Amino acid sequence: MRLEPRAHVPFWLNITAPLAAVVLAFAFCALLILWAGAPIVPAYTALVKGAFGSTFALTETLTRAAPLIFTGLAAAVAFRAKLWNIGGEGQLYAGALAATYFGTGLVTLPPYLMIPFLFLVGAVAGGLLLLVPVILKLKLRVDEVVTTLLLNFVVLLFANYLLFGPWKDPLAMGWPQAAPIIDEGVLGPLVPRMRLHQGFIWAIAFAVFAWAFIRFTKWGFQIRAVGYNPDAAAFAGMPIGATVLRTALLSGGLAGMAGVCELAGLKGYLTLDISPGFGYTGIAVAMLAGLHPLGVILSAIFIAAIYNGADAMSRAMSISNYLADVLTATALLLVLASVLFVRFRPRLR
Amino acid sequence: MELLDIFVTLGFWGALVRMATPLIFGTLGELICERAGVLNLGIEGIMTMGAMVAWMWVYQGGDLWTAVLVAAAAGALFGLLHAVFSVYLGLSQHVTGIGITLLAASLSYFAFRMLLPDVTTPPKIDPFKPFPIPGLSEIPYIGEVLFTQSPLTYLAFVLVPIVGYGLYRTPLGLALRMVGENPMAVEAQGIDVHRLRTCAVMLGSAFMAVGGAFLTISVFDAFYIGMINGRGWICIALVIFASWRPGKALAGALLFAAFEALQIRVQQASSAVIPYQFFLMMPYILSILAMIVMSRRAAYPKALLVPFRKGER
């Protein structure tokens, strides 16, 4: 097989190719549902109902989408500059740790200042954490994929130490959890009696911000240029190092805010299961969105819907809810392939 | 227990050799892929798949050695998938690798839950028994440490010189190294670059899967969710540490295993002074430090991460 660049990409192909990939992913998982001995149509109906079928289902999906928007943006922004930040999970926990440190009584501000303050410290913590591998990459050419990945484990173990040691809340009846965030820092609910909280609005706002930043500012242009062709960018006199550092602060900051969002919006206190791998899923979110910040909103809601829906389906049909992970991974790989076929025409020889 | 006492115990050295085994398989596998110019970030998932498949095979009544072959075949299959995306389609090796890891790990967990529903405590199998090599195992001290191990451990140690010989002393090895340095030159020799890279990735992935299988059918007798626990990523760091050489890969794997084995024992000896989490962090921090130390000397295969398209320069 041979791939030829397409001179002209028909508009319909840009839309149908990723959609076809997602349909194929569902078809593949239908085989797994069959294997589990469940009927396909009722199973997928249960999935859709569990994701969007009621106010409760819908708000739960959006609640789950909020941190995924943040981690998806983190991956999208970094990947735009060809900075392979696989450390979203660690940066998320770094953000949550910082917010716990400042938000459990050390600082007290009125809510309209306290909440932005928590997001700020979370972003700074996440950004600084990513800065370490990026400086190593720039100064010593140490591959950032492995270092960001390994730091995830380090941060999680550090959080583990704090929660079992100095930060353990004596009022938590022996559970490894930190003291709760003070009331001024809590993100209030958006819908009465539902878990959906203001973190979702913050996520949307930052998606729009990230889009505008990349699209309209000089620094955003530099991020795109460095990712597209670093040699040309350097030739044009762009500060490559500074651009990569800015990208790191932005990307790590966004991932750190995912931690704040979950901490201040959902749990109220830090635990070790605050993220079921949002940092990793964010990579799939970003790729599904074609690294477009506004697309991240849609793809985060889509993936959150798959997870929530698969939970409902697994309860209704007794199918393992790991199916959601399989579906996401399959969709990720197939969408990657589909994007290639948009740009290239396959020719069989 | 005093710190120095640890080094004279047989248990420590035996554990070191045991713990190095999955790292040797994984590092050799990743090394073969990268020498051919393909970064395989699918390793973490492929090791998980190998661990699950081999365990399940034995649990369903299969034989232990066939389980190793089944794991290798499953690994090769995922290697083929990775090659389709990264070699034939030329997609970003970083992202497809992460995708393969997500897919292989989640498929393993899904299949595990599917085949064993309603099981709360993981059921057990009869794993490989230590196999004392006649004669050699009677050497005092060394015999007990080196020659009273699982057969898979011997296999790992034997594979190191075999891979080294294959890479440096055979025409196929030369072609494989060249395809990671200068694929155009290989193409000019009339060798199919895509096919060669695909074979390398499949072989390497099979090694990784056997490394995972070692954990379930040789060390532990059960499969747990999340049991690979970053070992795959450490293998990737080890390949850089080893500057893409099999001999150094063995040394690196042993060094890391020493640290892992030491960590458990120091943890027991001095848990009051230093929290155990800091010991658990050490392999990861050491990996990062190793990469920093080796970064100056790192001679990456020149075509690593670069997709090859015929007729394109």
DSSP sequence for A24-48: HHHHHHHHHHHHTT--HHHHHHHHH
For chain B, report the end-to-end CA distance as a whole number of angstroms.
62
What pLDDT does residue B310 have?
Answer: 67
What pLDDT does residue B233 have?
Answer: 92
**Mean pLDDT to the nearest integer, A179-203:** 92
| pLDDT at residue B34 tops 60 | yes
Q: Chain B within 8 Å of A138 (Cβ-Cβ)?
A: no
- The torsion of the CA quartet B257, B262, B267, B269, rounded to 10 degrees, works out to 160
**Mean pLDDT to the nearest integer, B53-71:** 94
| pLDDT at residue B313 tops 60 | no
Query: Quick one: closest CA in A to B81, which residue?
Result: A333
Interface with A, mutate which of B281, B292, B305 (most A CBs under 10 A): B281
Using left for φ > 0, alpha for ψ between -120 and 50, and beta otherwise, residue A319 falls in: beta
Please choose, from the candidates B46, B106, B55, the residue with its C-alpha nearest in 3D space to the C-alpha of residue B81. Answer: B46
Q: Print burial letters for A273-282: b (CB count within 10 Å at least 16), e (below 16).
A: ebbeebbbbb
Per-residue pLDDT band for A227 (boundaries 50, 70, 90) equals confident
Helix pair angle (A293-317, A55-80), 10° resolution:
140
What is the phi/psi pair of residue B117, to 5°? -75, 160
| pLDDT at residue B226 tops 90 | no
**Mean pLDDT to the nearest integer, A104-129:** 94
Tokens of B252: 């690196």
| pLDDT at residue B186 tops 80 | yes
What pLDDT does residue B133 have?
Answer: 80
- A56-111 tens-digit pLDDT: 999 999 999 999 999 999 999 999 999 999 999 999 999 999 999 999 989 889 99
What pLDDT does residue B154 have?
Answer: 94
Please choose, from the candidates A321, A228, A258, A226, the residue with its C-alpha nearest in 3D space to the C-alpha of residue A87. Answer: A258
Neighbouring-strand partners of residue A4: A345
**Mean pLDDT to the nearest integer, A186-201:** 92
Q: Print burial letters for A74-107: b (CB count within 10 Å at least 16), e (below 16).
A: bbbbbbbbbbbbbbbbbbbbbbbbbbbbbbbeeb
- The torsion of the CA quartet A266, A268, A270, A276, rounded to 10 degrees, works out to -10
Nearby residues of A189 by Cβ (< 8 Å), 6 or more positions away: A195, A196, A197, A198
What pLDDT does residue B272 have?
Answer: 60
What pLDDT does residue B277 have?
Answer: 84
| pLDDT at residue B298 tops 60 | yes
Chain B residues in contact with A284 (beta carbon < 8 A)? 99, 102
What pLDDT does residue B193 have?
Answer: 92
Q: Do B109 and A320 touch (CB under 8 A)?
A: yes
Residue A346 or residue B5, greater confidence = A346
What pLDDT does residue A11 have?
Answer: 77
Residue type, B201: V
Smallest Cα distance from B134 to chain A, Å: 41
Least confident window among A3-12, A16-25, A57-66, B164-173: A3-12
CB A103 within 8 A of CB A187: no
Neighbouring-strand partners of residue B304: none
Q: Do A160 and B277 touch (CB under 8 A)?
A: yes
DSSP, collapsed to helix, strand or coil, labels residue A175 as coil
Q: What share of chain A in percent tops pLDDT 90?
A: 72
- B79-92 tens-digit pLDDT: 999 999 999 988 88
Least confident window among A33-42, B10-19, B83-92, B164-173: B10-19
Q: Print burial letters for A143-176: b (CB count within 10 Å at least 16), e (below 16).
A: bbbbbbbbbbbbbbbbbbbbbeeebbbeeeeeeb
Beta-carbon contacts below 8 Å between A and B: 129
What pLDDT does residue B303 have?
Answer: 81
Mean pLDDT of chain A: 92
**Mean pLDDT to the nearest integer, B246-273:** 82
B-contacting residues in A 238-257 (Cβ below 8 Å): none
Least confident window among A89-98, B126-135, B168-177: B126-135
Question: What is the greatest pairwise CA distance in chain B?
Answer: 65
What pLDDT does residue B294 have?
Answer: 80
Tokens of A280: 């990793």
The whole-angstrom separation of Cα B50 and Cα B56 is 10
Q: Chain B within 8 Å of A229 (Cβ-Cβ)?
A: no
Chain A residues in contact with B288 (beta carbon < 8 A)? 142, 146-147, 150-151
Burial degree of A221 (CB within 10 A; 0-12, 13-18, 19+): middle
Per-residue pLDDT band for B147 (boundaries 50, 70, 90) equals confident
| pLDDT at residue B1 tops 60 | no
Least confident window among A108-112, A152-156, B66-70, B292-296: B292-296
What pLDDT does residue B45 have?
Answer: 97
Mean pLDDT of chain B: 88
Per-residue pLDDT band for A1 (boundaries 50, 70, 90) equals low
Per-residue pLDDT band for B189 (boundaries 50, 70, 90) equals confident
What pLDDT does residue A172 have?
Answer: 78
The whole-angstrom separation of Cα B258 and Cα A316 is 48
Residue A338 or residue A200, greater confidence = A200
Please choose, from the candidates A292, A21, A145, A323, the residue with its C-alpha nearest in 3D space to the C-alpha of residue B89. Answer: A21
What pLDDT does residue B312 have?
Answer: 58
Residue B242 or residue A72, greater confidence = A72
> Is this model's pTM higher than 0.80 or not?
yes
Please choose, from the candidates B105, B122, B284, the residue with its C-alpha nearest in 3D space to the C-alpha of residue B212. Answer: B105
Q: Chain A within 8 Å of B98 (Cβ-Cβ)?
A: yes
Q: Chain A within 8 Å of B26 (Cβ-Cβ)?
A: no
Least confident window among A43-47, A70-74, A304-308, B219-223: B219-223
The whole-angstrom separation of Cα B209 and Cα B229 is 14
Please choose, from the candidates B253, B43, B246, the residue with its C-alpha nearest in 3D space to the C-alpha of residue B163. Answer: B246
Q: What is the ipTM of this complex?
A: 0.90
Q: Chain A within 8 Å of B310 (Cβ-Cβ)?
A: yes
Please choose, from the candidates A217, A220, A258, the residue with its C-alpha nearest in 3D space to the C-alpha of residue A129. Answer: A258
**Mean pLDDT to the nearest integer, B55-72:** 94
